[in-house]
A and B are shown apart, each in its own frame.
Chain A
Amino acid sequence: MTAGVPSKQYHRLRSAVGGPLSGLTVIGTQAQFYAKTLVSIKDAFVHYRTEMVRLIAQMSLSTGALALIGGTVAVVGFLTLSVGSLVGIQGYNQFSSFGTEALTGFASAYFVTRLLAPVIAGIALAATIGAGATAQLGAMRINEEIDALEVIGIRSISYLASNRVVAGVIVVIPLYCVAMLTAYFSARFTTTYVYGQSTGVYDHYFHTFLNPTDLIWSFFQAIVMAIVIMMVHTYYGFTASGGPAGVGEAVGRSVRTSLIAAVFVVLFLSLAIYGQSGNFHYAG
C-alpha cells in the first residue's frame, strides 16, 4: 500500500505551509461543528425530547463516582463555598490591616457578583458537566456507537451535541443560583462567625452595594459560558480518536480549551457590560 504514491514537489515548502494551514482547517471544522450544533437545536426539541430530559437529570445529579459525593450540585456548591470563605478570609484580614474591615460585606457584594462567581461557575461547569460529556461522547466514538446512531437514522449531532448544549443551559440556571447563594452565605459566615464582625455592619454594606442589575448580568454571563463550554466539550468528545488513552487526552484538551474560552467570554462580556463607566457609584 505504501508504494505507488509519487513524492510530491516542493516537499519542504509544503510541510512549512501545511502545518499552519492544517491548524486553520481544524478551526474551520470546529466552527462548522458549532454551527451545525446550534442549527440542529430545533431538531433536538422536535425529535429527541425524551433524551433531553434524561440528559438534564443526568447532568444535574451526575453519575458514577461523582454521584456518590453529591453530584454536580455538590461540586459547584463546594467550589463557590470555598471561594466565598476565601473572600471572607482575605478580605477581612486585608481590610483590617487598613482599619476598614467593615467593607468586607462590600467586597462580597462587588467581587463575588462581578468576578468570582462567573469564573468559578465556569471552572466547575467545565470540570463536571463538560468533562463528563467529553468522556461519554469520546467513549461512544471509540466504541463506534456514534456511527451506529448514524446508521440507524438518528441525527447524531442533534441527538448527542445539541441536546447536551440545551441541557447544559437549562441545568446551569439552578446551579448558578446555588453557586451565588453559597458564595454569599459562606463569605458572611466567615466574616461574622469566624472573625466576629457584627452581622448588622456586614449586612448594611452588603445590601448597600449589592446591585440587582449586576446580578442579572452575572446570570447572563453564566448562560453564555455554559453554551460555549458545552459546545467545546461536545466537539472534543465527538472527534476523539486513539483508543482509551485518546478519550482521556480528549478530556484533558477539552478542559484546557473550555477553561480558556470561558474566561475570555467572561472578560469580554464584562468589558461590554460594565464598559468604561463601570456602572458603579460609591457615593450613591
Chain B
Amino acid sequence: MTRFDDEVGGAAGVVHANSPPEPVNPAGRSDLTDNLNHPHAERAPATVSTLEHPDDGVMTAGGVESSWAARFAEGLTRISSAKAATPVRALGGFFAMTLDTLVLIPRRPFAWREFLLQCWFVARVSLLPTMLLAIPLDVLLIFTFNILIMDFGAADYSGTGAAWGTVTQVGPVVTVLVVSGAGATAMCADLGARTIREELDALRVMGVNPIQALVVPRVLAATVVATLLSSVVILVGLIGCFVFSVYVQHVTPGAFVASLTTITHAADLIVSWVKAAVFGLSAGLIACYKGISVGGGPAGVGIAVNETVVFTFVALFAINIVATAVGVKVTI
C-alpha cells in the first residue's frame, strides 16, 4: 500500500503548492489511461479532491479564512493518508478492483491467450496436490464416520456419509485450499514481482489496462479451474472412500455404492459447484489485489503472498458458512 500512500500524499502536495491548481494528474500518467476510459480506483481520491476543491490551495497559501467544507476536505485528505486508515483503504481498494474487474469481464479485447495460459498453469500446479489432499481428508472422514455407524450396526450406510461429506464439504473446500495455496499464491507472486519492477506502470503508460490484460484472465482462470477441479476432487475422494471402506473396514461394496445417493442428490452437486466457483472467484480476486498492491521489495512480495493465503482461507470459511446455510435451505 505504500505506493498508493505516496501518490495520495503527493497529490495533496500538488493541490496545496500550486495556486491556482490545475486539475493535473498526480503522477502525470493517468491522463493517458483516463483518456482511454480505463477507470483507476486506486487513484480516485486524489483526482476527486483536485477536481472538486480547486480553491484548497488558495486557502492554505493565502491565509484567507477557510470555509468549513475546505477544512473538512483537508482533514479528509489527512486522514486518508494516515496510517490508521490503511486497513480500511485496503478493503476499499479491494472492492474497487473487484468492481473494475467485473465491469471489464465482458469488455473487449478479452485476453484469451493469457486466460488459457493461466487456466493451464493453475490446473497444472493444482491437480496433483488436490488429489493428494483429497484422498487423506476423505479417508479420514470415512474412517471416523465408519467407526460411528459400525457401532450402530449400520455399516451399509457408509456410502451415504462418504457421498454427503465429499460432495457438500470436502469437494469445494479442498479444491479452493489447493487453488489458493498453489494457484493464487503463484499469481500473487508473479503480479507482485511485476509491480515491484514497475511493469504495471509501464503497461499503463502504453495505454494497456493491467486490470483488463492481467487481472481479468487470472480471476476467470481461477474460477473455471476451481469449478472443474471440484469434480475431480469429488470423484477421487469417493474412490478413496470406497477403497478404504471396502478393503480396510470391510464394508460390503454393493451396499456402499447403493447408499451413495440416499441423501445426496443432483441439487447438492450443483450447490457444490456453485460454491467452488464462488471460492475460486474470491481467491483469484484476493490474489490479484494483493499482487498489484505490493510494496517494499522481496520481503514485501513474501508478505503479500502470506496475506493472500490467510485472507483467502478466511474468506473461504466465511463464504462457506453462508453458502452452506443457503444450500441447506435449497436442498433439504
Cα separation A110 to B151 with both chains bound (whole Å): 13
Q: With an 8 A cutoff between CB atoms, is B137 at the interface?
A: yes
Q: With an 8 A cutoff between CB atoms, is A168 at the interface?
A: no
List the B residue with the shortest CB-CB distance to A128: B310
Cα separation A247 to B186 with both chains bound (whole Å): 10
Q: With an 8 A cutoff between CB atoms, is A94 at the interface?
A: yes
A8-16, A157-165, A255-263: which lies at the B interface?
A255-263
A247 in contact with B305 given A82-B318, A139-B298, A267-B139 (CB within 8 Å)? yes
Are A86 and B324 touching (Cβ within 8 A)?
A: yes
List the A residue with the shortest CB-CB distance to B1: A65
In the assembled complex, the CB of A268 is this many whole angstroms from the nearest CB of chain B, namely: 8
Chain A residues closer than 8 Å to B307, beta-carbon distance? 64-66
Are B309 and A248 touching (Cβ within 8 A)?
A: no
Q: With an 8 A cutoff between CB atoms, is B321 at the interface?
A: yes
Cα separation A83 to B90 with both chains bound (whole Å): 27
A-B interface contact total, Cβ < 8 Å: 190
Cα separation A124 to B192 with both chains bound (whole Å): 23
Are A65 and B332 touching (Cβ within 8 A)?
A: no
Q: In chain B between 81 and 137, which residues have their CB closer than 8 angstroms to a CB of chain A?
A: 86-87, 90, 125, 129, 132-133, 136-137
A68 in contact with B86 given A135-B299, A143-B298 (CB within 8 Å)? yes
Chain A residues closer than 8 Å to B306, beta-carbon distance? 66, 131-132, 134-135, 251
Please classify how large the interface on chain A is, using the bins under 10, 10 to 19, 20 to 34, 35 or more. Answer: 35 or more
A69 in contact with B321 given A244-B297, A252-B189 (CB within 8 Å)? no
Q: With an 8 A cutoff between CB atoms, is A278 at the interface?
A: yes
Chain B residues closer than 8 Å to A243, beta-carbon distance? 193, 298
Are A256 and B297 touching (Cβ within 8 A)?
A: no
A40-48, A111-119, A196-204: which lies at the B interface?
A111-119
Cα separation A119 to B133 with both chains bound (whole Å): 11
Are A65 and B87 touching (Cβ within 8 A)?
A: yes
Within 8 Å by CB of B186, from A94, A249, A264, A282, lies A249
Cα separation A246 to B185 with both chains bound (whole Å): 11
Interface string of A251-284 (1 = CB under 8 A from B): 1110110011001101100110010001011110
Within 8 Å by CB of A274, from B147, B182, B263, lies B147
Chain A residues closer than 8 Å to B310, beta-carbon distance? 66, 75, 127-128, 131
In the assembled complex, the CB of A55 is this many whole angstroms from the nearest CB of chain B, namely: 16
A248 in contact with B147 given A69-B87, A93-B332, A259-B133 (CB within 8 Å)? no
List the B residue with the shortest CB-CB distance to A139: B299
Chain B residues closer than 8 Å to A90, beta-carbon distance? 168-169, 324, 328
In the assembled complex, the CB of A83 is this many whole angstroms from the nearest CB of chain B, namely: 7
Within 8 Å by CB of B177, from A89, A135, A246, A259, lies A259
Cα separation A267 to B147 with both chains bound (whole Å): 14
Q: In chain B between 131 and 180, which residues have their CB closer than 8 angstroms to a CB of chain A?
A: 132-133, 136-137, 139-141, 143-144, 147-148, 150-152, 164, 168-169, 177-178
Q: In chain A between 43 and 96, which residues have their CB closer than 8 angstroms to a CB of chain B?
A: 64-66, 68-69, 75, 78-79, 82-83, 85-86, 89-90, 93-94
Cα separation A85 to B293 with both chains bound (whole Å): 33
Are B150 and A278 touching (Cβ within 8 A)?
A: yes
Q: With an 8 A cutoff between CB atoms, is A156 at the interface?
A: no
Chain A residues closer than 8 Å to B298, beta-carbon distance? 138-139, 142-143, 243-244, 247
List the B residue with the shortest CB-CB distance to A118: B140
Are A280 and B151 touching (Cβ within 8 A)?
A: yes
Q: In chain B between 284 and 328, which residues have their CB closer than 8 angstroms to a CB of chain A?
A: 297-307, 309-310, 313-314, 317-318, 320-321, 324-325, 328
Are B302 and A248 touching (Cβ within 8 A)?
A: yes
Q: With an 8 A cutoff between CB atoms, is B181 at the interface?
A: yes
Cα separation A49 to B248 with both chains bound (whole Å): 47
Are B90 and A256 touching (Cβ within 8 A)?
A: no
Given A78-B317, A266-B140, A281-B151, 18 more A-B residue pairs with CB atoms under 8 Å apart are A75-B314, A85-B321, A94-B164, A94-B263, A115-B144, A123-B177, A132-B303, A138-B302, A244-B298, A247-B189, A247-B305, A252-B305, A259-B177, A263-B133, A263-B137, A267-B139, A278-B150, A282-B152
Residues of chain B touching chain A, judged by Cβ–Cβ distance below 8 Å, are: 86-87, 90, 125, 129, 132-133, 136-137, 139-141, 143-144, 147-148, 150-152, 164, 168-169, 177-178, 181-182, 184-186, 188-190, 192-193, 196, 263, 297-307, 309-310, 313-314, 317-318, 320-321, 324-325, 328, 332
